[in-house]
């Protein structure tokens, strides 16, 4: 990819010169990277590199000190968190936050975006649309046989999938996931890779991950962060063989 040759509108997300200072410490320091529509990008880097802070900045949880985040051509840095969600950015945090007492169906139904006029025939149409959306998402996240089970009865991995489903049902254009396979079994990791590959038909995915096997399985491109900056970027093979990356990882 040559960022210079493309216009901002060609990217789903263009992050440029992004910086945030916490009491003078730059957790993210003049960071630039670009996401193409429908790609899976993985951000890796040693502890404290600034990975989570980047996701916090994109979703509006943390406000930048300077720089820009353009999403589908629109500047996000001045928007509030809910406005950024409305633009089509979904974020999943590390710990699952599903409603344990509700069933899988109810968790998904609750997450379906609320319409404005829900009366009479419209309400009926909406019900059909919700049912179809819940069924479609449940199949994608391997939980179509578990729709009536309370979320509390699911395995840790299934809860993570359910939470991804609760984002998918809102149809975000960009889905951001922070260590989605942490605590998962090998089999669950494989299925999660399958799940992410399935959803990039309709979504762009930005993932933070430490498990290099998993990174190799899913990433179209990898961005390596170190001390708030981009250290290296490219295919998994490219970054693995980049002497700068090797030095940072061996040094830690
Ligand atoms: N709100 C904050 N106030 C002060 N310092 C912060 C804040 N958020 C993050 N930091 C600091 O910024 C640096 C980057 O943190 P961040 O969590 O983004 O790193 P990371 O790459 O996600 O690390 P890890 O892999 O350990 O999760 C760390 O030194 C952290 O202590």
Tens of pLDDT, residues 202-225: 899 999 998 889 999 999 999 999
What does the block give as tokens for 111?
Answer: 């997450």
- The model carries a pTM of 0.90
Residue 55 scores a pLDDT above 60: yes
Q: Is 81 within 8 Å of 61 (Cβ atoms)?
A: yes
The number of folded domains in the chain is 1
The predicted structure's pLDDT at residue 129: 87
The predicted structure's pLDDT at residue 195: 95
Return the ligand 1 atom nearest residue 22 CA: 4
Domain span holding position 182: 3-250
The predicted structure's pLDDT at residue 123: 59
Measured between alpha carbons, how far is 57 from 51 in angstroms, rounded to an integer?
10
Measured between alpha carbons, how far is 204 from 175 in angstroms, rounded to an integer?
6
Averaged pLDDT score across all residues of the chain:
90
Q: 28 CA to middle of ligand 1, Å?
A: 9
What are the pocket residues of ligand 1 if the criterion is a CB atom closer than 6 Å to any ligand atom? 22, 27, 45, 47-53
Domain CATH code at residue 12: 3.40.50.300
Give the pLDDT band of residue 68 (cuts 50, 70, 90): very high
Ligand 1 pocket, mutate which of 20, 29, 53 (most atoms under 8 A from CB): 53
Give the pLDDT band of residue 93 (cuts 50, 70, 90): confident
Residue 190 scores a pLDDT above 60: yes
- Using alpha carbons, select from 100, 151, 163, 106 the residue that is nearest to residue 130: 106
Proportion of the chain above pLDDT 70, given as a percent: 90
The predicted structure's pLDDT at residue 20: 97
User: Which of the residue ranges 2-6, 35-39, 49-53, 81-85 would you say has the lowest mean pLDDT?
Assistant: 2-6
């Amino acid at each position: 990819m040559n960022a210079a040759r493309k216009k901002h509108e060609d990217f789903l997300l263009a992050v440029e010169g992004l910086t945030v200072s916490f009491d003078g410490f730059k957790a993210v320091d003049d960071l630039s990277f670009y996401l193409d529509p429908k790609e899976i990008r993985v951000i890796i880097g040693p502890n404290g590199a600034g990975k989570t802070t980047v996701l916090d900045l994109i979703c509006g949880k943390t406000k930048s000190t300077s720089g820009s985040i353009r999403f589908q051509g629109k500047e996000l840095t001045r928007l509030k968190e809910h406005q950024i969600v409305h633009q089509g950015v979904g974020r999943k945090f590390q710990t699952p936050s599903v409603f344990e007492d509700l069933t899988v169906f109810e968790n998904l139904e609750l997450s379906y975006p609320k319409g404005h006029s829900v009366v009479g025939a419209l309400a009926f149409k909406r019900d059909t649309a919700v049912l179809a959306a819940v069924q479609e998402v449940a199949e994608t996240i391997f939980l179509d046989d578990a729709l009536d089970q309370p979320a509390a009865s699911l395995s840790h991995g299934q809860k993570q999938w359910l939470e991804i489903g609760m984002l998918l049902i809102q149809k975000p254009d960009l889905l951001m996931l922070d260590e989605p396979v942490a605590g998962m079994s090998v089999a669950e990791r494989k299925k999660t890779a399958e799940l992410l590959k399935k959803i990039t038909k309709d979504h762009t995915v930005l993932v933070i991950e430490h498990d290099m096997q998993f990174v190799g399985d899913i990433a179209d491109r990898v961005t390596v962060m170190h001390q708030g900056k981009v250290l290296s970027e490219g295919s998994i093979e490219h970054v693995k063989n980049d002497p700068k990356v090797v030095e940072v990882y061996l040094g830690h």
